[in-house]
């Protein structure tokens, strides 16, 4: 079995991989031309870097392990053969992304974005601010990230409901104790939602799942946060709602176009708090996905079911 690594492994990580798949040949792609050559006879690819560029040269690929949680880019490229197993890094960054969502929710409620803007202008402006306790949040996307956000908000006294695709349309409590809604009834909760929080993958179904109609259904003064994928929220409709003063603010870590073009309204909208897709931030070795890679390689080489297999039809 030939295993191609799209990253330079540390000695410790490489020896863990070797122990997980005794007898496998390991190769490391150090740049794009090397990846294009080495992928030709690779059975397994670990890591994203150079993957899409080299994929057309793959002849016997059976499994690709991504180090991303969302695999929309890989699927959208459309070049991965249907019989190649794709696994993602689901679960690896849940805590970090949930903390970032919480930071955005708190910053919006306490007006930190306005305070910082006013500090730059040497202005001492005392505004009325909001508290989270007793407010209601709807978390759309009930994977590890969405549930992590829900637990954190609940600890601050927020009444949280979740939304998922495969659910009784409820609303009814799931095993986490939170009330969860399905694809039909979730919109009924919008008029009672103070914080609409998106933690969705980008798929055919989730593209613009939240658009002008959903934003209009929120109560005046609501907040919107997106830490999932740009494209699940219609940015244009959001900016309209912010500019019209119908929403109090929004916090976006992801946008439909990243970075937005220089003349994009997102740069200058004062009630919008932008972070540059850093809910999962830059990392230096050892990478948090290393243990997942080792465990999945062990499973693959011994014929056991892999963790985090992507359902190619659903897109996540
Ligand atoms: N901002 C960042 O830096 C960053 C970093 C990493 C990942 N992300 C994004 O975060 C996303 C969520 O991660 P995760 O690991 O929590 O995902 P996950 O475990 O795959 O869960 C996805 C959730 O979305 C729900 N969903 C999918 N389609 C839906 C639809 N049409 N309507 C309602 N709900 C739908 C799923 O419902 P079911 O439970 O019914 O399947 C599931 O609850 C990733 O896909 C990725 O795009 C962002």
Give the C-alpha separation, 216 to 145, whole Å.
Answer: 26
For 41-54, the pLDDT digits (tens) are: 999 999 999 999 99
Could you count the other beta carbons within 10 Å of the beta carbon of residue 212?
14
Cβ–Cβ < 8 Å for 265, 238? no
Measured from the Cα of 144, ligand 1's closest atom is 16
For 267-291, the pLDDT digits (tens) are: 999 999 999 999 999 999 999 999 9
The ligand 1 site (C-beta within 6 Å) comprises: 69-70, 90, 93, 97, 141-146, 163-167, 183, 199-201, 203, 205-206, 227-229, 253-254, 277, 279-280, 316
Could you count the other beta carbons within 10 Å of the beta carbon of residue 59?
8
Q: Identify the burial level of 127 via C-beta atoms within 10 angstroms of its C-beta, where 0-12 means exposed, 13-18 middle and 19 or more buried.
A: exposed
Phi and psi at 176, nearest 5°, equal -85, -10
pTM: 0.97
Q: Ligand 1 mean position to 160 CA, how many Å?
A: 17
For 182-229, the pLDDT digits (tens) are: 998 999 999 999 999 999 999 999 999 999 999 999 999 999 999 999
* Shortest-distance Cα residue to atom 9 of ligand 1: 228
**Bridge-based pairing state of the strands 85-87 and 63-65:** parallel
Cβ–Cβ < 8 Å for 14, 37? no
* Shortest-distance Cα residue to atom 27 of ligand 1: 165
Gap between the terminal Cα atoms of the chain: 27
Q: What is the DSSP letter of 233?
A: B
What per-residue confidence (pLDDT) applies to 171? Answer: 86
DSSP string, 33-70: HHHHHHGGG-SEEESSTTHHHHGGG-SS--EEE-S-S-
């Amino acid at each position: 079995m030939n295993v191609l690594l799209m990253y330079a492994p540390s000695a410790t990580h490489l020896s863990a991989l070797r122990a997980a798949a005794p007898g496998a040949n390991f190769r490391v792609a150090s740049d794009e031309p090397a990846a294009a050559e080495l992928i030709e006879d690779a059975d397994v690819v670990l890591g994203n870097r150079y993957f899409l560029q080299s994929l057309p040269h793959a002849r016997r690929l059976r499994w690709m392990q991504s180090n991303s949680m969302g695999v929309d880019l890989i699927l959208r490229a459309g070049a991965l053969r249907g019989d190649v197993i794709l696994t993602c890094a689901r679960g690896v960054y849940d805590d970090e992304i949930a903390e970032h969502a919480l930071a955005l929710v708190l910053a919006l409620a306490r007006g930190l974005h306005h305070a910082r803007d006013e500090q730059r202008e040497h202005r001492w402006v005392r505004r009325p601010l909001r508290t989270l306790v007793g407010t209601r949040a709807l978390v759309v996307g009930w994977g590890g990230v969405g549930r992590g956000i829900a637990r954190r908000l609940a600890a601050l006294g927020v009444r949280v409901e979740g939304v998922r695709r495969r659910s009784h349309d409820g609303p009814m409590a799931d095993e986490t104790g939170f009330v969860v809604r399905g694809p039909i009834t979730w919109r009924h909760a919008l008029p009672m939602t103070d914080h609409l929080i998106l933690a969705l993958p980008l798929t055919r179904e989730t593209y613009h799942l939240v658009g002008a109609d959903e934003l209009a259904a929120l109560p005046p003064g609501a907040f919107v946060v997106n830490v999932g994928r740009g494209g699940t929220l219609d940015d244009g409709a959001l900016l309209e709602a912010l500019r019209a003063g119908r929403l109090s603010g929004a916090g976006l870590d992801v946008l439909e176009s990243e970075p937005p073009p220089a003349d994009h309204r997102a740069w200058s909208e004062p009630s919008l708090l932008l972070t540059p897709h850093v809910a999962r931030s830059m990392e230096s070795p050892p990478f948090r996905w290393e243990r997942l890679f080792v465990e999945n390689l062990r499973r693959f080489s011994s014929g056991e079911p892999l963790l985090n297999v992507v359902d190619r039809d659903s897109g996540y």
